[in-house]
Structures are given as structure tokens and as C-alpha cells.
């Protein structure tokens, strides 16, 4: 695991004070055994953490719970003191739009829509026509991600390019939290290395807290710390 220095972490904490504190978190489906049963998990502001473990251990469910997408039956998910788990669905959605850049494993891009409009998608929740600085920011992010902003249909891109579009979209509104679910899955090694480096550097540049669910040793190595899960529980690094 790679560290990035005490001074840099302190600078990040100044920009986005607080962090993540999970306490007594339980998620249950259909009254069965808990899919998640996490007593405690802490992530510092600006920290980059890999969540890893065997398939089916609850990693994706944890990512969804931390982002406010997945309701929880018990416990707290506190980001900067705000218990997101205690909010109603509408309030969680509003909180997520303001605070979280989410990168899904299957991207959730809109085929038939241009690359630029896909990146701007998050801004349409607050305005019908994004302001010129927001459009310029979207184009700049696409350039940084190595995707030409002029491409008209996102479906024409390779999988690696689509992943980079998804990263640009997540970064658009400068969120203090980035949550990525298997962002390098199904990519060849060269593209995996590029996406891992891009995601880690973008989070570092913005001072964002990054949580990446991944099996990929390339991405794990790029993070500050690794949290290992098994059977819905944190086994190491929490």
C-alpha cells in the first residue's frame, strides 16, 4: 500500500473536514441473515481506501450503504457528522447529489447521448441548462481523462474510455466523497493502471475521500489503506 505523506493528508483534511464513521451497521434482505454486520469502520477525510474481499462478501452493498443508496436496518453512517443512514430516501438522494461522486461497475452512461452530456448529467438535477463554467469544467475533465469531448455517442467508446467518462462525470461537481465499485473490472492491465492512477490522482487533487471496492491489485496498491471483508464483516483494516 502506498502512502502520500502526512502534510498532504493534513491539507486534505483542512479542505474537507471530518470523515466517515460507521457504527453498528446492519443490512438485511428478506429477513434473512445480515448481508452487512459492521461494528465499526473509520475513514479519515481525504484518505484513499480499498475495500476488498471474496465475491459475495458484501462489498458492493457496503458501497451503496455508504453512498446513501442502500437503506440500512440498524446503525449509523456518519459523513462529517451527518448520519446519512438516518435520513429518509428523498433526503439521502439530495445529500448524495451534493456530496458523492459515484462510479458504478457498469458505468450507468446513457447510450445515444454525447460524451459531454453524459458528464454533465449530474448538473441537470439542479438546472435545465448548465452554466458555461460547468460545461467548460466537463470538457476539461474529459481532456484530463483522455477522452475527446466532441464524441457524439458514448456507446461508440471502448470500455476503458467509457470508464474514464464515468470518472469525469463523478468528478464534475467537485464532490468531497468518491465511491467507486470495481472501477477497473474487465479492463486489460494497461487500462486498469491508467484508470487506477487517474482516479487516485483526481481524488488527491480535489482533496476528496476515495473508497474503492476492488479485487484489482493495481488499484489496491494505489490506495493508502486496505479494508478486508468476509461474510459481511470487516475482518482487517477497519
pLDDT at residue 2, rounded to an integer: 43
Distance CA 91, CA 99 (A): 12
Q: What is the DSSP letter of 156?
A: G
List C-alpha distances in Å: 28 to 17, 36, 143.
Answer: 31, 7, 42
Cβ count near 79 (within 10 Å)? 24
Percent with pLDDT over 90 in the chain: 58
Residue 3 has pLDDT above 80, yes or no: no
Least confident of 32-46, 64-78, 153-167: 153-167
pLDDT tens, position by position, 113-154 = 999 999 998 787 666 678 899 999 999 989 888 888 887 799
CB 65 within 8 A of CB 49: no
Residue 17 has pLDDT above 70, yes or no: no
Distance CA 66, CA 78 (A): 9
Name residue, grid cell 488499484.
219
Using alpha carbons only, give the angle 133, 135, 141 rounded to the nearest 5 degrees: 100
CB 197 within 8 A of CB 221: no
pLDDT at residue 127, rounded to an integer: 62
Q: What is the DSSP letter of 65?
A: H
- pLDDT, mean of residues 213-217: 93
pLDDT at residue 96, rounded to an integer: 93
Distance CA 70, CA 77 (A): 11
Q: Which residues, including other chains, have CB under 8 Å from residue 207's CB and lie 6 or more apart? A: 11, 12, 15, 16, 46, 176
Return phi, psi of residue 117, to 5°: -65, -30
Q: What is the DSSP letter of 130?
A: -
pLDDT at residue 30, rounded to an integer: 82
List C-alpha distances in Å: 153 to 33, 108, 147.
Answer: 43, 14, 12
Note the pTM of the prediction, 2 decimals: 0.85
Return phi, psi of residue 5, to 5°: 100, 140
Strands 74-79, 19-28: parallel, antiparallel or unpaired by DSSP?
A: antiparallel
pLDDT tens, position by position, 170-202 = 999 889 999 999 988 878 888 888 888 888 988
Walk me through the domains of the chain, giving residue ranges and CATH numbers: 6-111+159-236 (3.40.50.300)
Percent with pLDDT over 70 in the chain: 91
For residue 46, count CB atoms less than 10 angstroms from its CB and return exposed for 0-12, middle for 13-18, buried for 19 or more: buried
pLDDT tens, position by position, 39-71 = 999 999 999 999 999 999 999 999 999 999 999
Amino acid at each position: 500500500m502506498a502512502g502520500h505523506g502526512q502534510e498532504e493528508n493534513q491539507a486534505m483534511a483542512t479542505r474537507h473536514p471530518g470523515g466517515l464513521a460507521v457504527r453498528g451497521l446492519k443490512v438485511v434482505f428478506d429477513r434473512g441473515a445480515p448481508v452487512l454486520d459492521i461494528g465499526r469502520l473509520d475513514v479519515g477525510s481525504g484518505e484513499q481506501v480499498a475495500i476488498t474481499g471474496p465475491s459475495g462478501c458484501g462489498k458492493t452493498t457496503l458501497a451503496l450503504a455508504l453512498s446513501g443508496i442502500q437503506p440500512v436496518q440498524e446503525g449509523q453512517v456518519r459523513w462529517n457528522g451527518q448520519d446519512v443512514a438516518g435520513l429518509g430516501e428523498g433526503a439521502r438522494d439530495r445529500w448524495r447529489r451534493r456530496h458523492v461522486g459515484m462510479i458504478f461497475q457498469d458505468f450507468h452512461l446513457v447510450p445515444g447521448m454525447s460524451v459531454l452530456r453524459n458528464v454533465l448529467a449530474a448538473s441537470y438535477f439542479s438546472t435545465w441548462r448548465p452554466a458555461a463554467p460547468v460545461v467548460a469544467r466537463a470538457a476539461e475533465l474529459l481532456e484530463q481523462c483522455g477522452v475527446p469531448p466532441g464524441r457524439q455517442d458514448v456507446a461508440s467508446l471502448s470500455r476503458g474510455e467509457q470508464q474514464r467518462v464515468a470518472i469525469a462525470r463523478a468528478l464534475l461537481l467537485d464532490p468531497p466523497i468518491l465511491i467507486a465499485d470495481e472501477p477497473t473490472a474487465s479492463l486489460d492491465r494497461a487500462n486498469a493502471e491508467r484508470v487506477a492512477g487517474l482516479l487516485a490522482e483526481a481524488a488527491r487533487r480535489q482533496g476528496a475521500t476515495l473508497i474503492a471496492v476492488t479485487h484489482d491489485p493495481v488499484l489496491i496498491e494505489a490506495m493508502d489503506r486496505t479494508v478486508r471483508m468476509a461474510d459481511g464483516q470487516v475482518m482487517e483494516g477497519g
